Structure 1
Amino acid sequence: MEDCLDELATNIKKKCKTLLPLSSKCSIYKIPRNLRKINEQSYTPSLISIGPFHRGDPKLEPMEERKLRYLQKFIQRNADRDLEDYLSAIMKWEKEARDCYLATIRLSSIEFTEMLVLDGCFTIEFFLTWHGTCIDPTDRIFHRPALNQAILRDLKLLENQVPFFVLEILYNIASEDNEKAPSILKVTYECIIGLGKVPKHFKKTKILHLVDFLRTVKHVNQLFKISYEDQHLEFPDGISELYESGVTLKVDKDDKFLNINFENGVLHIPELMLENHTESQLRNLVAFEQCHYPRESFVVDYVLFLDSLIYDRKDVEVLVNHGIILNSPGSSEDVYRLFSNISKGTTYSRVTFYYADVCRSLNDYCGTPWNRWKAILRQDYFSNPWSMISTIAAVVLLFLTVIQTYYDIVQLRY
């Protein structure tokens, strides 16, 4: 028996010695199974593989030739540099790049470096072409709008990433002699978000990859208020119930869709445009936070808060009518299902819930009877000029009737 135990212990120790050291710099993850099973399509690239996780997928193989063509175009941007310069620069950062991936990457040093350079150069050249003034007539991507939109969607998937510092290294080599070249942050911002200034807080933030870039754009600088009271968080009623309780809705033209607040009876919610790839984008942001920012889950909390406001189709219609949800991709039932499904499988902290104060203020406001009475008056009797005129006329008529009745009684007495 002792011999068997010694042999077993020896075998386990040998296996332990083969384990590779873990890195605390991991930021690119495989989607957790509990999230993937709800909607696998939202996490899977449809056209192009970036990084190691979907490398070699036969369905994505046709784009490999276009990666090579974009690599050629990218290298031509600096005539003083050749392909060897880019490969050498990235190979020096191989270990740091490997540490960014949660799973062990079973690629040789040569294969891994080739992948980073090929995928990184394609991504940057795609960004530069997106806002270029002249597109090569032989370009098979940008002469087909549906194709470039699908690729942009794939570049925002958590499993489809290379570290952002790889993009920085490659871009800096290509633009080293061009004093007028914009920063890689500017180029990335214009492609993913649109024309405009890069937010100031980007200069103080280390961007991990493109999903983290997107989250940083939407991030609102606000400290959590942690207290024991927050552990007893209660979500508010559906938005239609809040509206009937006197809450006024106001849409904010704010690019930071997380910036929801409630003050003086007015619930401010930035508009949310629902497009074909909105669900995929939100799901990947949620998955990234679940893996990397469990205590700072701004997007997760946003999705949960909206899910609490949307109980049924009627709630969706209220949000659409107030301009808060735009370009709904289908029926109100589809929007309801979208938010209820996105929040499935997620976990959140009641202690650090981003909208705890908003929830508490809404519940306190709606718990006051006077606010509901005011809402009934406003919605039932003063919702439009004609009902308001009719209500005022009825009140005046009632007042005159009371006066007339009073004088009739007085005359009868005398």
Structure 2
Amino acid sequence: MEIVGTSRQGTSSRNGDASIDIEGLVKSIREKLDKLSCLSTECCIYKVPNRLRKINEGAYTPLRVSIGPLHHGKEGLEDMEEHKLRYFNDFMQRSGKSLEELVKIMEEMEKEIRDCYAETTNLKSEIFLEIILVDAAFIVELIIKHNFRWIVTQNDRIFGKPLMGDDVRYDLLLLENQLPLFVLQYLFEMSNVNWNINDDETMSDYFIRLSLHWLKREDIIQELPVLKYINPPKVKHFLDLLRSCLIPTKDWQASVPEEKSPSVSQASVLEKKSQASIPKEKSLAKVKQIIDYIKRHLIPRQSLQQSKSKFDIPSATELHEAGVKFKVSSSKNLFDIKFSGNILEIPHTRIIDPTECLLRNIIAYEQCHYNDKFFADYSMIMDYLINTSKDVELLVQAKIIENWLGDNNDVSNLFNGLSKGVNIISDDYYFTELHKELNDFCEIPSHKWKATLRQNYCNTPWRVLSIIVAAILLGLTFMQSLCSLASCHK
């Protein structure tokens, strides 16, 4: 390569017939580097990864309303923009704040809000702040009107139309349709709402409580959690709130008020104190909690990769043929799946049209934000148990699955497809112990032939009676033969 010229304007490099303006290239790269923004630790709202989106794009796309900048202006969502402005006007009147005051508040929060989005937006500040302000006020009004229906007007497009209300609820739980919760809480504090607030809770906690009432449905949240267990100050947005309500409660949540789980030494101190102050049976329960905590969090668990064949557990039908009985659990937590004796207890699950959408968005959020992939683990265990419509039928008969889709094949297809494109950290797989217990049970040969005997020959009272009669007749025949042989020898 020949160097041609070294003037003050820059150095040019010639390679054959092509020349490079080195000074221009350096300037271009430097300008891009200067424009780089610092990555924020507050990032919590993401675009769905393409490998997940391409499997079912509709699961991540709002049907009725766009929230935030990622879907703003999308075709088919224009109708709700006018209604959002109506809700914004209601909020402005309720708060007593002028439009200028609200815009100024948003301006002061702009950087903090932008930091919450993983995808940098090129929207001008004026457009971005308008979207955030109108959408946030819309959500705050939505929560208020849901909890205090007497303020809803008769011509309200959302609460006057049940189907519309359901669609909006599910749209507000999409990963790409989120607003930072601190924005909603800040506006809520200006709304002059003070009904039924407890003395020991803040306005922010009260907003979360109202939001949970808005979320409470059999297919979303079956029962409201205790606020301190979901750690309100750390909730990022509505989808994060939903996940916080559904994931397994920590081993120590029921008895230890601290946010962080105790270490082994701390657990020992707590154990000694509890033995001195509570009855014996409660002390034993505490010991069990310590053991469970150590087993789950401190003892290294076998990974799926280390023993892959051991974790290819049989389907529900195959487990049934091996003698496993299915029972609906009294627990409302999806993850509280337990195996004891020959009984597999699984919490009740209602499967409706939006179920796949909810699960996919929580899974996508976990893939982007959390190390603990609880819902990916849940989708995997259900994928193992359900291969065909016959597996679904067994779980429906046990009242574990409530199928509102109509066809059992639709349910099996749902669970068989959830794990596609999902990365699972095998060493942290939540159901490792359950897999091992089920495999150990199925490897005992006697379990299968006993189950076959019960299912094929002792499954009705008449069959049991006929087997007993046949056994008696066989015994009498055998005795008669012995008597005949004895008489012949005489």
Same fold (TM over 0.5): yes
> Aligned residue for 1:139?
156
State how far apart, in whole Å, the 2-side matches of 1:375 and 1:153 are.
Answer: 43
Q: Percent identity?
A: 37
Closer, same or farther: CA 410–374 of 1 in aligned 2, 3 Å: same
Report the structure number with the largest CA radius of gyration.
Answer: 2
Cα 1:58–1:311 change in 2 (3 A) is closer
Q: 1:115 to 1:384 in 2, by over 3 A?
A: same
Q: Given the alignment, which residue of 422, 427, 430 partners 1:346?
A: 422
CA distance in 1, matches of 2:451, 2:196: 60
**In the aligned structure 2, how far is the partner of 1:237 from the partner of 1:254?**
24
Moved more, 274-283 or 81-90: 81-90
The one-character-per-residue Cα deviations of 1:45-67 (angstroms, maximum 9, x if unpaired) are: 11110011001113211111100
Gaps of 5+ in 2: 4-11, 14-19, 251-295
Q: What is the aligned partner in structure 2 of residue 12 from structure 1?
A: 29
Change (3 A) 1:400 1:10: farther
- What is the alpha-carbon distance in structure 2 between the residues aligned to residue 11 and residue 88 of structure 1? 35
User: Aligned to 1:110, what secondary structure does the other structure show?
Assistant: helix
From 197, 216, 227, the equivalent of 2:300 is: 227
Equivalent residues of 1:217, 1:256 under 8 A apart: no
Are positions 1:164 and 2:181 aligned together? Answer: yes
**Where does structure 1 lack aligned partners over 5 or more consecutive residues?**
none
Taking structure 1 as the reference length, what is the TM-score of the superposition?
0.92
Deviation for aligned residue 1:389 = 2.1
1:220-267 per-position Cα deviation (integer Å, ceiling 9, x unaligned): 034556636324242301110011111111112433212212222221
Correspondence for 1:280 among 357, 366, 371: 357
Which residue is equivalent to 2:467? 391
- 1:238 maps to 315
Residue 190 to residue 178, structure 1, CA distance change in 2 (3 Å): closer
Over the aligned positions, Cα root-mean-square deviation in angstroms equals: 2.2
Residue identity opposite 1:376 in structure 2: T
Question: Please, which of 196, 207, 213 is the counterpart of residue 190 of structure 1?
Answer: 213
Corresponding residue of 2:243: 215
Change (3 A) 1:87 1:264: farther
Query: So what's the TM-score if we normalise by structure 2?
Result: 0.79
CA contact (8 A) 1:51 1:115 kept: yes
State the partner residue of 1:114: 130
Q: Does 1:89 align with 2:105?
A: yes
- What is the number of residues matched between the two proteins? 412
Q: CA separation in 1, counterparts of 2:414 and 2:93?
A: 44
Alpha-carbon distance in structure 2 between the residues aligned to 1:86 and 1:252: 49
Indicate which of 48, 53, 57 corresponds to 2:65: 48
In structure 2, distance between residues paired with 1:403 and 1:87: 99
In terms of mean alpha carbon deviation, does 319-328 or 275-284 score higher?
A: 319-328
Cα distance in 1 for partners of 2:386, 2:186 equals: 44
Counterparts in 2 of 1:22 and 1:385: CA distance versus 1, 3 Å: same
The answer to whether the 8 A contact 1:226-1:352 is kept is: no
Q: Select 1:309's aligned residue among 378, 385, 389.
A: 385
User: Which of 229, 235, 254 is the equivalent residue of 1:201?
Assistant: 229
Partners of 2:346 and 2:352 in 1: how far apart?
18
